Amino acid sequence: MHEQLETLLEMQDLHMQRRALEEGGVRELETGLFEMSAEEAIDALDAKISELELRLGKSIQERFRSLIGTRQRAVVPVLAGVCYGCFVAVPTSWAAEADPNEKLNVCQSCGHFQYYPT
């Protein structure tokens, strides 16, 4: 897998975890059943996200920040040849590659980074 794609995936997962701790059901469960301190966890997640960010090139870093800020997600899955950022079919030549995750693909139509789940 492309190294920066892996970092982006991790960062996005951490962002999702952070967001879930700020509101609603997950927060309730984490602080109740699992006795987690949500504030401490959010601080720890922020620290990790900042650390990972340093691994990204400048332009990728900027794209990630802008996407996660405005559209909640920066990396979207491609499932059955369709980009889940915009629901437009990806060029067949991209999806046909042996391992499309070896490249850092950016959707031509919505600008999200793309990930092909197994």
Contact residue for Zn ion among 60, 100, 107, 116 (CB under 5 A): 107
Strands (E), the chain: 75-79, 82-83, 113-115
C-alpha 101/C-alpha 6 separation (Å) is: 9
The residue (of 59 and 117) whose beta carbon lies closer to other proteins is: 117
9 binds other proteins (CB under 8 A): yes
Name the minimum Å distance from CB 110 to Zn ion.
3
Q: Which residues in the 48-107 window bind other proteins by CB under 8 A?
A: 48, 73, 75, 77, 79, 101
Total number of residues binding other proteins (CB under 8 A)?
32
CB 60 within 8 A of CB 11: no
